[in-house]
Structure 1
C-alpha cells in the first residue's frame, strides 16, 4: 500500500507575538518570524534531513481561525511530553489531558489549549 505522510502544518493565531512567546516557552525553541504582507508566519525549527513534518504559526485575518474543538488535531513529538506539558500553563495555555500512557508500543500523550485557543496534542515514547 502507498504511504501517505504529513508534509506541513499550520496553526492559526490571532496574536502572533503572544503565540510565538507561548510556543518558544513550551518547546524551548526559537521560531523564525516572517512577514509576508497580509500573511504572517513563524516557522518551527527543523533539522535538515530529520524525519517528520514541520510547520508554522500563521496569521491572516480572513483565512485562519483558532479552534479548541473543531477541525484537525496535530501532535508534536518530543522526548518526554510531560516536560512540555509542565510549561503550558505558565506560558499562558491550559492542559486538557495530562500525560498518560496510550500503550507500551505507542508511548504517552497529552493535549493542551494554546495561547490562541487551539487544541494541540503532544506525544512521546517515555
Structure 2
C-alpha cells in the first residue's frame, strides 16, 4: 500500500486531517506540506470487477501493459503501473464485497498512443464500443 502514497497524496491526507481539527496557531499551511501545486488532484482510482482473472487478462491485453496483482486490505487487486513523483492518476482493478461493477457512474479516460489499435484489441476480447471514436480537436480522439 505504501507505493500508492506519493507526496501529493500525503498532502491531501494531511489537509483532510487538518480540516477536521480546530484551528490553532500550530496549523500547517498547504504550502508547508507540498512545494508543488496540486494541479491534478486525483491520484488513485479503483475499477470494480467480479472476475479478476478475466479483467486482468482483458486490461493487460488491451493496453499492452502488466498489472501488479496482490491482496490489499483483504481485497484482490491488480495495480496499473504508476510513475511516482509524476502528476496524474493510476489505479487498480479491485474485487471484493464492497466493489460492485456498474454501467453508470464515473468514467475513466486512458491516454493511449493509438486509439484505433486499443479499440481493435478491446473488440477482439469481446468489448463493445459504447461511444464511437470522435475527434475532440487538439486533445485528439475519444471513444
TM-score (norm 1): 0.75
Give the match for residue 114 of structure 1.
Answer: none
Provide structure 1 residue ranges, at least 5 long, that are not aligned to the other structure. 111-126
5+ residue gaps in structure 2?
1-37
Higher share of residues assigned helix: 2
The CA RMSD measured in Å over matched residues stands at: 2.0
* C-alpha deviation, 1:86, in angstroms: 1.1
More RCO (CA 8 Å, sep 6+): 1
What secondary structure is seen at the aligned counterpart in 2 of 1:9? strand
Q: Does the aligned pair in 2 maintain the 1:85–1:98 contact within 8 Å?
A: no
Does residue 41 in structure 1 map to residue 77 in structure 2? yes
**Which has the larger share of strand?**
1
Tell me the alpha carbon deviations over residues 27-64 of structure 1, each in whole angstroms, 9 at most, x when there is no partner. 01111000236311000012344442100000112x11
Within-5 A mapping of 1:1-126: 3=39, 5-36=41-72, 38-61=74-97, 63-68=98-103, 70-103=104-137, 105-110=138-143
Choose 1 or 2 for highest CA Rg. Answer: 2
TM-score, reference length from structure 2: 0.67
